[in-house]
Structure 1
């Protein structure tokens, strides 16, 4: 009890378990890995020179940046109007559309990539439909090219772009747009001068997140792209699997990390979103004669504006109807793009033929029987469940303690420690995986369940800290002080007062931690050592060797999992009571 009381008085101590895991598993190996890239203790740049002087490596590096930039721009072009239309929708429609954005984001990226293989392949749904309609005489080359890579990456990353935009746009005061319209601004002018500048922090956050994550893409380009679409993450993973040269792998990883760090530092400097007003000083220093002239012409201007608005009122109805229709069609297309691949996998998994087809000619559970009747598949599933539960328990405990401690520290310390804890999910996954791989080799945990749990817990803890911190943001501290004033111990106060009120956030963090573990492929493939096969690794192995229809049955189960998570969160939120629900919504 005395130990807990001391920790309660020094809340930063609650972050020690999370920081210890982060430093041991990821931090120190990254430092050693960086020294290895410099050929320590001789210290030279020979590894970097060898990488950059090799033409093939340089082309892959440029190609990685190019693909990431174009995928990010496509996500921004589609994501910004989508977020704007969702924000402008009525409350119930806004909630429903936000949930529909969350569903594909929570679904396994491996399953979504598999869905696009079924859609874009030579015998896929699109080519078969066009052939049956007689529109083409031979299958189109829709897969194993750059177009397929962009489609798969945008499909996976579009929710990551939309969600930060939504969080910023929903906080913008809508009366500002109405005030601009009331002062004579056209709709586009009001949007361009008022709404867009206020939404730039969301644009900046979404763009940086999407670009940095795209830099480390591994599964989607390798599954949907051709030999000319290799990205740097694929090259790194190939070097580890074939001939592991620590110096060369480290130099490639840190070049990729340097690009991400430059983007984070440059575009993360100004997040205020404040706009300059150069006209203000100009208006302040205008000559008095101009002011008198404006007063004399005010009456004429008012009459002209009145006539203009009278004409606009008659045309506004038709224009608004057309804009509303166009917005509805656009939202329907975006939601179809995000949700249709997963729905097709579910429907096709019940096909009774020898191969997957849509619509199924006959219905059957043969692929589900193939999954549950194969010990290799069920064993991989049980391994993933066991590891996921261990990751969820570990990351929830240390992440909740860290979030609770950070909520009681100064803003500067809280910001610095939070950035450190968020590092594993803001850097390219392959860079984090390579550094952890190097650490697991030194710790002797390569190919062990403990090593995989620690590897996945680094990222899962970041999600728990983010979710629980959001829950604690509007927590009323007076409730704790009241309990302490009534002779309750710090432990009793936390368990009987604080924990019941933040329980929805803790459960949400645990679910996200489990989903992160259950879906993780890149880092797990590096540290598993080919001795432990989780379900995503088994799926990825079969996708590379053959297009096994059994994956459709597995994918349908995994696709339905987010719905169960959302139902569990909703039940927990509803049972928390009206006051707790109000605080949860305010976060």
Structure 2
């Protein structure tokens, strides 16, 4: 029974998140009186409805921008040579590990009235006064897309790497043009990655809090800001629960519309349904729906004539692709490089360009126990969260992938629930759950609170990888007397390893950069590095933040080098596995 594999994941979610979430919902409807006064109060105020609409609009636009940028980026990365592909993936992952607080502040430095862009324009005499580049909707999109773009690219890469490129070559050998081959062969096979990446980005954008608050204006507030104000003002659990469940309802509607079946079965079923629906229509009506089919005969004749002709020059496409990748990597890495430069500032505050060069802020980090102790605590918590969520999440993704399609969608929606709720509400729910367990203010409590969100990332990434896994390999191994555990370890696990590694990295990153949940469940007993950075940004602009961010950029490089060496050494074993299945 594959569903048994999901028991550990659902046990963690139920204790830390599920039961407290039910209690929060009962509070939102004023149980045991059971009234909708909190919901009526929310929708009765036009300002709240406007904030809700604005939250959905910002999330949709940010997701669309991430998809428009992320899909061609992932396609170009997968199509690159092996060494270039590894290097580009490293460049995509590095920005996400650097603290989101430091990256958000870097955009303040870039877009501010006396930031990098305005200073450059003023020095060149192009403008006479600073341009309003910050505290507006455009700045919010720039910051949100910068943070979420890696989370769109990684699922796409995971799925695209599992697509057999010989299918593209087969299409070209039959006379199909490159664009037709891509659109009719490659793109449909990449839809699991598009769906999982888009859903992942959208549901996280719904709960964005720090970046819109730092880069947006008063008219760009999101629902998380509304909830945060309620927490700070009155801590009215009923109103907070009502706002949270309204936003959760929006996420459920979107997930229901686009589907959460990441195994690829849903896409094939929908395609079969469309084909069957088209077969019942008159042929003339079908041609009206698809005018391109009227030219099928003419295109077939042209393809036959051009089939054995030499291909056209592709230098222009290579140049355009290279320029596009360079621009995307510049967009992802420039704020990081800016933070590195600012970390050597000799001034009392962060500035760009630095008025002088100095290592004073690195000495401040290593000489201040509050900084390096907080960093060590964050590393410990992140590693434990990554291990726990990867093991439990991989088992859950495998079990969900092997269950019935109807049950699969429901289970996946439950797993994704913690990342569909605003992060501040997740912190409140985790607070209620850990209070019952007596784990408030403990490292174990923080680990459990971080794991409920990290599980969703792991399940999404691993499930997207399983979407392109051929289950006949497992059947072949079992037919040769391989036991289920042996089949999983020697056949399934090596083939889905890229997704597992990606899920583990995202789990570590989500834990390492967590601020809101940690502040609620950790209290004053445990101070993590992001929590200290956030406190310093709010109360004082300590340039040590830039030094800390620069040091954090070394961590993903070292960890990915270790993972690459381990992966490279296991490649011959994987090749032998394909040639000689276990018996």
Structure 2 counterpart of 1:121: 112
The equivalent position to 2:552 in structure 1, one of 529, 550, 558, is 558
CA distance in 1, matches of 2:83, 2:383: 34
Shift of the 221–583 alpha-carbon distance from structure 1 to 2, 3 Å rule, reads: farther
The equivalent position to 1:271 in structure 2, one of 254, 267, 272, is 267
The equivalent position to 1:153 in structure 2, one of 128, 144, 159, is 144
Structure 1 counterpart of 2:434: 440
Shift of the 582–498 alpha-carbon distance from structure 1 to 2, 3 Å rule, reads: closer
Structure 1 counterpart of 2:66: 75
Deviation digits for residues 225-246 of structure 1 (CA, Å, limit 9, x no counterpart): 1222111111112212331111
Matches within 5 A, 1:189-228: 189-228=180-219
Q: Report whether the alignment pairs 1:85 with 2:79.
A: no
Deviation digits for residues 227-282 of structure 1 (CA, Å, limit 9, x no counterpart): 22111111112212331111100000000111011111111075336274577778
Structure 2 counterpart of 1:338: 332
CA distance in 2, matches of 1:498, 1:178: 27
Shift of the 404–58 alpha-carbon distance from structure 1 to 2, 3 Å rule, reads: closer
Shift of the 554–327 alpha-carbon distance from structure 1 to 2, 3 Å rule, reads: same
Structure 1 range deviating more: 204-213 or 34-43: 204-213
Q: Report whether the alignment pairs 1:142 with 2:133.
A: yes
Structure 2 counterpart of 1:230: 221
The equivalent position to 1:62 in structure 2, one of 48, 53, 70, is 53
CA distance in 1, matches of 2:315, 2:480: 55
Query: Are the equivalent residues in 2 in contact too, given 1:257–1:431 (CA < 8 A)?
Result: no
What is the Cα-based RMSD across aligned positions, in Å? 4.3
Matches within 5 A, 1:181-580: 187-268=178-259, 270-272=266-268, 274=271, 276-277=274-275, 305=302, 309=306, 316-317=312-313, 320-358=314-352, 360=354, 362-392=356-386, 394-395=388-389, 398=392, 420-425=414-419, 427-463=421-457, 512-576=506-570, 578-580=572-574
Structure 2 counterpart of 1:295: none
Structure 1 range deviating more: 458-467 or 338-347: 458-467
Shift of the 390–184 alpha-carbon distance from structure 1 to 2, 3 Å rule, reads: closer
**Deviation of 1:558 (Å):** 1.8
The structure that has the greater radius of gyration is 1
CA distance in 1, matches of 2:299, 2:546: 66
**Deviation of 1:552 (Å):** 0.4
Deviation digits for residues 396-448 of structure 1 (CA, Å, limit 9, x no counterpart): 66557767877998888777656544543455434433322332344454444
Query: Are the equivalent residues in 2 in contact too, given 1:253–1:434 (CA < 8 A)?
Result: no
Q: Secondary structure at the match of 1:20?
A: helix
Shift of the 358–314 alpha-carbon distance from structure 1 to 2, 3 Å rule, reads: farther
CA distance in 2, matches of 1:281, 1:178: 32
Shift of the 166–497 alpha-carbon distance from structure 1 to 2, 3 Å rule, reads: closer
Structure 2 counterpart of 1:133: 124
Query: Are the equivalent residues in 2 in contact too, given 1:254–1:431 (CA < 8 A)?
Result: no
CA distance in 1, matches of 2:572, 2:310: 45
Unaligned runs of 5+ in 1: 1-9, 287-297
CA distance in 1, matches of 2:386, 2:193: 29
**Deviation of 1:221 (Å):** 0.5
Unaligned runs of 5+ in 2: 261-265, 286-296
Query: Are the equivalent residues in 1 in contact too, given 2:474–2:491 (CA < 8 A)?
Result: no
CA distance in 1, matches of 2:491, 2:301: 61
CA distance in 2, matches of 1:511, 1:191: 30
Structure 1 range deviating more: 65-74 or 386-395: 386-395
Query: Are the equivalent residues in 2 in contact too, given 1:396–1:461 (CA < 8 A)?
Result: yes
CA distance in 2, matches of 1:47, 1:202: 38
Query: Are the equivalent residues in 2 in contact too, given 1:164–1:202 (CA < 8 A)?
Result: yes
Deviation digits for residues 544-572 of structure 1 (CA, Å, limit 9, x no counterpart): 33332111011112222211221221233
The two structures have a TM-score, normalised by structure 2, of 0.80
Shift of the 557–313 alpha-carbon distance from structure 1 to 2, 3 Å rule, reads: same
Structure 1 range deviating more: 335-344 or 453-462: 453-462
Structure 1 range deviating more: 112-121 or 465-474: 465-474
The two structures have a TM-score, normalised by structure 1, of 0.80
Structure 1 range deviating more: 459-468 or 130-139: 459-468
CA distance in 2, matches of 1:122, 1:222: 17
Structure 2 counterpart of 1:30: 21
**Deviation of 1:530 (Å):** 4.7
Shift of the 154–484 alpha-carbon distance from structure 1 to 2, 3 Å rule, reads: closer
Q: Report whether the alignment pairs 1:96 with 2:96.
A: no
CA distance in 1, matches of 2:300, 2:186: 28
Shift of the 511–156 alpha-carbon distance from structure 1 to 2, 3 Å rule, reads: closer
**Deviation of 1:122 (Å):** 2.5
CA distance in 1, matches of 2:38, 2:111: 39
